[in-house]
Structure 1
Amino acid sequence: MTNSTTVKPYPLLFQPLLKERVWGGRSLEQFGLELPEGPIGEGWMIGDHPNGTTRVVNGAFAGAGLDDVRKQYGASFFGTKGEEFTGDNGRFPLLIKLLDCNDDLSVQVHPDNGYSKLPPGELGKTEMWYVLGAKPGSKIIYGLQPGKSRDDVARALQDGTIMDVLQLVDVQAGDSFYIPAGTVHALCAGVLVAEIQQNSDTTYRLFDYNRPGLDGKPRELHIEDSLNVIAYEGSGATRMTTELAAPQQWLTLAESPYFRVEKAKVEGEWKLSTTPDSFVILVVCDGGGEVTWPDGRIGVKPGDCLLLPASLGDYALEGAFTVLRSYLP
């Protein structure tokens, strides 16, 4: 790998890790991704996790894993707020995905960092969704019906009425959903989303529609863990429907202890800069254009996810597109 002292910081693109899921489809092809056979539900676009690490495809670090870059660049890459993630035993703090929901996902819930039964070395999982596309009539499961207790949920699971205690909400492109740990949730068929989340792969399935998995057998459920971690008094989940009228203005979609996510519409040239505090992740939602910096430029299209080092400094967005910006709060 190239010695970091000889490389000026630049925006990194990665080779996505494409993962087969029983609920997946082929819609990620619209982003120019070459899908393997089968139902592909997840594209891990930027990841540094034991279950998958993405590799750089552009510039001096081409071929290097995000974990390699993390260890070599250190805090100058991630920013002062990311110092705790940079050691040999560290891990990039966020995981960025594109999800194609050709069928309903399991009804699920994620633990927080303090849950005593987390797998060794694993984190809790707070996340947010931005809806890139939704077929007419698409819905998601988003929380419990008001006033439902642990006993109510356990009873509904036993008598087969679990769907009656869940909230089902309509979705359309442009909607965003903040999903703190403890929120019962599920994407449903016909939805295409970008997901920004804590770097965790821990999911507790509460209900899976009694369907077989890819191996023909029922997928494992995690009833006790799910009942333990649900936030029955409310998790702080919030949702937004956004129509951006003015370009070149950031609108906050989600803010948590782990990430801040903003949305903007780019028209023409927009000069920006990273800060020493944090890296920046850009997710292009629609349209197209370029990301430029003093030493180069990259063309961008829908579905592209770029990681900008904290030390990059001045850069600009040029063209006509909608973009998400994520960084450490």
Structure 2
Amino acid sequence: MSIKPYPLQFKAEIKERIWGGRALEDFGLELPPGAIGEGWMISDHPNGITRVANGPLQGLGLDQIREAYGSEWFGTRGSSASNGRFPLLIKLLDCNDDLSVQVHPTDDYEDLPEGESGKTEMWYILDAKPGAKIIYGLKEHMDAQTMTVAIEEGRIMDTLHEVNVKAGDAFYIPAGTVHALCSGVVVAEIQQNSDTTYRLFDYDRPGLDGKLRELHIEDSLRVIAYDGAGASRMDTTNMAPGQWLTIASSPYFLVEKGLIQEKEAAAATKDSFVILMIADGEGHLRWEDGELTVRAGECFLLPATLGGYEMYGALTVLRCSVPAS
């Protein structure tokens, strides 16, 4: 029996992290005990494959759906060129403490782990405590030699650019950009389907096992884009209802933010799936064969063959698709 396409919601893969907390409970996630740093909301990565939580495909992993339906559901641009998997990984992050200072490689880095792609990503700040900040790139006139000396002398923090953040800020972080989320923020992250991170600095703190976490200085210094990789930031707090604003555009994903106060009609296309992440509010998602109640913290994967759909209610939505190459 063929399954008619419908919006897929997944059970989040929960990740305990030394820097995590409990804030993801406020976004509807059921958390086990511990310091929970990440909820992988939509994932086809071997380190955490999400399973469908609704409808006829309930219980199936995203990898199984990919294998069964392929480009019919995900679109002609719906697989990674490097490994054939679903191309994106969607997360919620609770930064109760500072994350490590880190950098990600590009697709063409020669020492990528087998089966991995590079990792370009974007952040949308869902919540931020007063005074919250992130590390976002290097200060001017930094090169590999300057960074090496600073690391050897314990002065790496002197090389980093810090910025204050608030809810509604969006950051585009191409591979090669040194970055770190700091304490006091909850973030929606949209990224390439990769789990490769090179740590430059981790505050000399023990991990969950009581041991210092591994640093990757050599790899980091090789993949940093010292002249910049095209990182950008945007304040989206002054948007008007009914407006859609592009907040991140890359070869891997296009992310728009929309404010819905009544009703918004749209349609999926055969080129790409659509991911809807509800950043705030509550409302409904309706398509030809059904309707779902949606609320802040939930994510939905709309198949490329879904056709027309509507969202209505009082909602702040992040809408993501794969752009034409």
Q: Residue 77 of structure 1 corresponds to which residue in structure 2? A: 73
CA contact (8 A) 2:80 2:87 kept: no
Q: State TM-score, norm by structure 2.
A: 0.97
In 2, distance between residues paired with 1:31 and 1:47?
Answer: 18
State the one-letter code of the partner of 1:295.
D
Q: What SS does structure 2 have at the residue aligned with 1:152? A: helix
CA contact (8 A) 1:244 1:265 kept: no
Distance 1:269 1:236, change over 3 A: same
| Identical residues among aligned pairs (%) | 64
Superposition map of 1:275-294 within 5 A: 275-294=269-288
Q: Residue 50 of structure 1 corresponds to which residue in structure 2? A: 46
1:54-95, Cα deviation, whole Å (9 max, x unpaired): 000100100000011111111111111225669xx6211000
Superposition map of 1:88-107 within 5 A: 90-107=84-101
1:188-241, Cα deviation, whole Å (9 max, x unpaired): 000100000000000000000011111111000000000000000111000001
Q: State TM-score, norm by structure 1.
A: 0.96
In 1, distance between residues paired with 2:215 and 2:193?
Answer: 22
2:294 to 285, 289, 300: 300
In 2, distance between residues paired with 1:118 and 1:16?
Answer: 26
CA contact (8 A) 2:264 2:312 kept: yes
Q: Does 1:220 align with 2:214?
A: yes
Superposition map of 1:76-225 within 5 A: 76-82=72-78, 90-225=84-219
In 1, distance between residues paired with 2:80 and 2:262?
Answer: 37
Q: Residue 30 of structure 2 corresponds to which residue in structure 1? A: 34
In 1, distance between residues paired with 2:45 and 2:202?
Answer: 25
2:7 to 1, 5, 11: 11
1:227-279, Cα deviation, whole Å (9 max, x unpaired): 00000011100000112442222100011110000001011111110111100
State the one-letter code of the partner of 1:240.
M
In 2, distance between residues paired with 1:298 and 1:82?
Answer: 24
In 2, distance between residues paired with 1:160 and 1:83?
Answer: 42
In 2, distance between residues paired with 1:134 and 1:127?
Answer: 19
